A and B are shown apart, each in its own frame.
Chain A
Amino acid sequence: MTTTSGPLATRRLILQGAASVALLGLGNLPFAPAHAAANDKYPEEAFKQKNEADAIKALYGRNAEPSDKVKLDAPEIAENGGVVPVSVTTTLDKVSSISFFVAENPFALAATYKFAEGTIPGVANRLKMAKTTKLVAIVEADGKLYSATKEVKVTVGGCGG
């Protein structure tokens, strides 16, 4: 693996650099909403965690309880792991965020969405999955965490050749 250690090390440096200049970067953006900076910082650390439990801890700092009020919709079998349509809806009130974790990916946290008051708690997106994996959706509602889990079989992985 000597061939990849160079680029990987560089990438780590870039990521570390990115963390420290993240706020600066937002500040430079002429169209960035002024109120977005403090509260909506990009969760750099959480996106770097390799397994799902660490990622959840880094993002939320606590564990979620399974709930049937969280409805996770994903295909049983995904033919193309590069594009897997995934969506979450919930009947919970006061939802402030929804996150997706793909357990078998190199980095578990795939996406996290923040909801303002008045935004319907639900989101649909498309994720990459490296191989057959457990997919976890976490809904943060009224300060509590609720989760739903689904197994997705991937026949062709989403990480290229």
Chain B
Amino acid sequence: MASSIRVRATSNGDITEVQALIQHPMDTGLVKDPKGEVIPAHYIQQLTFECNGKDVFVADWGTAVSKDPYVKFSFKGAKKGDDLKISWTDNKGASDTTTAKIA
């Protein structure tokens, strides 16, 4: 299966801009399906961006983050060609990891 994480990391001088889009249902556990049964909560709890052995950015998410979450941030201290490792875990214990090259 293709990775659930799509990342674009672009270096602009000293600053690297990161945009990530993750495929995930982000179910709140409050919505019912058409049969009237509650769809159990299923959402990403933690998303980590690691570069050169350091966590540059960590997101803790609740159920209020939209389906197929998007996040954007920037950091200093990386250069073109460096690896950026992105991993998430959800409330059911599932996880995914991908590594992107900074362009």
Contact = CB atoms under 8 A, between A and B. Distances in A.
Interface of A: 3-4, 7-8, 11, 14-15, 18, 25-26, 28-29, 31-33, 35-36, 40, 42-43, 47, 82-84, 87, 100, 102, 105-107, 109-116, 118-120, 122-129, 158-161
B58 A113 contact: yes
Interface residues of B, number: 45
A31 B60 CA distance: 17
Interface string B52-66: 001111111111111
A161 B87 CA distance: 32
A42 B46 contact: yes
A62 B86 CA distance: 31
A30 B89 CA distance: 11
A36 B73 contact: no
Contacts of B69: 125-126
Given A3-B36, A31-B85, A116-B54, A106 B30 contact: yes
A116 B56 contact: yes
18 contacts: A32-B48, A36-B48, A43-B60, A84-B66, A106-B28, A107-B62, A107-B64, A110-B62, A112-B59, A112-B60, A120-B75, A123-B72, A128-B28, A128-B64, A128-B65, A159-B31, A160-B30, A160-B32
A111 B28 contact: no
Interface string B5-18: 00000000001000
A17 to B, nearest CB: 10
Nearest to B77: A118
A8 B57 CA distance: 33
A161 B40 CA distance: 15
A32 B76 contact: no
A113 B87 CA distance: 14
Contacts of B73: 113, 119-120, 122-124
Most chain B beta carbons < 10 A, residue from A31, A47, A100:
A31
Nearest to A115: B57
A111 B61 contact: yes
A32 to B, nearest CB: 7
